[in-house]
Amino acid sequence: MTHRTIVLAFAALILALPRGGLAVGNYSVSKKVVEGHTTYHLLDAQRKMDFGIVPDIGNFAYQFKVNGKDVLITPESFTAYLDKHWFGWGIPFLAPYANRIDQDFYYFQGKKYLLNDALGNVLRVPPTKLPLHGLLVYDPRWEVVKTGGNDAEGAFITSRMEFYKYPDLMAQFPFAQVYEVTYRLKDGKLECTTKVSNVGKSPLPVHFGYHPYFHPDGPREAWTVGIGAQKHWLVNKALIPSGETEPTDKFLAGASTSFTLGKQFVDDGFSDFQRDTKGLGHVWTKGQTQKIEVVYGKEFDYAIVYAPLDNTLICIEPQTGPTNAFNLEHEGKFHGLIVLEPGKTFQATYWIIPRGF
C-alpha cells in the first residue's frame, strides 16, 4: 500500500465515522430520551425513514415513519402503553410463547411446567383470560449491545436479554436462554433478526412472535390483503388451534392471493407458505396508496392475521409454530415444535417493506 492510498483510506474512514450520533452517510442511529426512556432511532436520510425502538420497554419497536407517515401504529405514549397493557401499537416481541397457552401449565418432553400468576408477569386479556404473549412485552431488562450506521450494514441496533439470569422469568420458563434481537434499516426495508441461544444443558422449546400493527391509508373496508400461505388453522372458542387445518382459500376465497377486507373479521393462523426462490413467504396489506409487506424467513412458518372490526388496524404476525405449540405438541396435534439443543442458536428473520408512503 502506498503512502497516498493509506492517506486516502484513512480519509475515507474518517468520513464514514459517525459524528455526534449523525453519520455522514445515509444511515445513522440516534439516541433520544422520550418520556424518560432512552430510545434508539434507525435513520435512512435518503428515504426519509425513521424507525424507533425503546429497549427498556420490552425492546418495543414503537414507531416507523416513512416520509413523516406512520407505517406502524404509534402508541399514544409510553405511559399509556405501560398502563393500558394494550395490544394495537408498534411491534411488541412475544416470547417465550406467542399468543395463547390453553392452560396454566405447559408440557415439554413429557414434563409439566407451571405458570405462576403470583409473580405478576403472566399476561392475560379478556375474553379468554388465558396466558398470552409471553413474559417479555414490558420487560425493562433489555440491553443494547451494538449499534451502527453505514452503507454496507445500514442502520442497526442489537439488544440482548439474558433471560436465564432473572428468577421471575425462569420460574415461568426454566430453560436457560439468551435472546438477541437486531433491527436493521437498509434498502428501504426493516429487517428484524431474532437469535435465541440455548445456554443450558437441556433442550429448549422455542416459540415466539412479533405483532406489527398497521393502518394503511384509505377506509378499512377497501384494504386488500394477501396471505401467501396454503393452510388455515381451525380454532376452538378460546381461539386455540385444534391442530386441524383447511385450505386458506376455503376459509376465505382468494385469501392466498388477494382479497378485500370489507366487513370481514380476521383473527386466524396460517401455515405452509408459498415460498419464493429465496425461501421467503409473503403476507401483505394495501390501502389506497400505502402497501405494507411482511416477508417471512423460513423459520417463521406460521402467520397470524388479525383484523378486528372494533378497531381499524391489521396485524400481520410472524410466529414460529402455531399458537399453543407446546401443549399441541404434547397432545400429538402438532409435530413441528422447534427444539433447540444445548449450545445451539436459533435464528429467524422477517422483514417489513413499506411502499407508497
Q: Is 207 or 231 the residue whose CB approaches another protein more closely?
A: 207
Q: In the set 89, 106, 164, 251, which binds another protein (CB under 8 A)?
A: 164
Q: Which CA distances in Å does 223 have to 143, 157, 284?
A: 38, 32, 10
Q: Which residues contact 111 (CB under 8 A, 6 or more apart)?
A: none
Minimum CB–partner distance for residue 110 and another protein (Å): 10
Q: Are 66 and 39 in contact (CB under 8 A)?
A: no
Side chain identity at 298, as an amino acid letter?
A: K
The one segment of 15-23, 87-95, 118-126, 234-242 that binds another protein by CB under 8 A: 118-126
The one segment of 90-98, 115-123, 180-188, 245-253 that binds another protein by CB under 8 A: 115-123
Can residue 247 be called a binding residue for another protein (CB under 8 A)?
Answer: no
Burial class (CB in 10 A: 0-12, 13-18, 19+), 153: exposed
x-or-dash string of contact with another protein, 70-109, rule CB under 8 A: --------------------------------------x-
Q: Which residues contact 5 (CB under 8 A, 6 or more apart)?
A: none
Q: Is 176 or 328 the residue whose CB approaches another protein more closely?
A: 176
Q: Count, in order, helices (H) and strands (E) of the chain.
A: 5, 26
Which residues, numbered 125-144, are part of the site for another protein (CB under 8 A)? 141
Can residue 339 be called a binding residue for another protein (CB under 8 A)?
Answer: no
Minimum CB–partner distance for residue 163 and another protein (Å): 10
The one segment of 1-9, 29-37, 117-125, 325-333 that binds another protein by CB under 8 A: 117-125
Q: In the set 169, 235, 239, 352, which binds another protein (CB under 8 A)?
A: 169
The one segment of 7-15, 51-59, 174-182, 284-292 that binds another protein by CB under 8 A: 174-182
x-or-dash string of contact with another protein, 199-218, rule CB under 8 A: xxxx----------------
Cα 70–Cα 72–Cα 75 angle in degrees, nearest 5? 95
Can residue 168 be called a binding residue for another protein (CB under 8 A)?
Answer: yes
Of 210, 190, 197, the residue nearest 59 (C-alpha) = 210
Which residues, numbered 303-332, are part of the site for another protein (CB under 8 A)? none
Q: Is the dihedral of CA 106, 132, 104, 159 positive or negative?
A: positive
Q: In the set 69, 166, 189, 355, which binds another protein (CB under 8 A)?
A: 166
Assign 136 to helix, strand or coil: coil
Q: From CA 273, how far away is CA 295, in angstroms rounded?
A: 11
Minimum CB–partner distance for residue 210 and another protein (Å): 25
Chain Cα centroid distance, residue 58: 12
Q: Is 219 or 342 the residue whose CB approaches another protein more closely?
A: 342
- Kindly report the number of other CB atoms within 10 A of residue 6's CB atom: 10
Q: Is 169 or 255 the residue whose CB approaches another protein more closely?
A: 169
Q: Is 3 or 111 the residue whose CB approaches another protein more closely?
A: 111
Burial class (CB in 10 A: 0-12, 13-18, 19+), 13: exposed
Q: Is 201 or 278 the residue whose CB approaches another protein more closely?
A: 201
- Per DSSP, helices labelled H in the chain are 3-16, 78-84, 167-170, 248-251, 325-330
Q: Is the dihedral of CA 193, 199, 201, 202 positive or negative?
A: negative
Using CB under 8 A as the binding criterion, the count of chain residues that bind another protein stands at 27
Q: By the criterion CB under 8 A, which residues form the site for another protein?
A: 108, 111-114, 116, 118-120, 141, 162, 164-171, 174-176, 199-202, 342
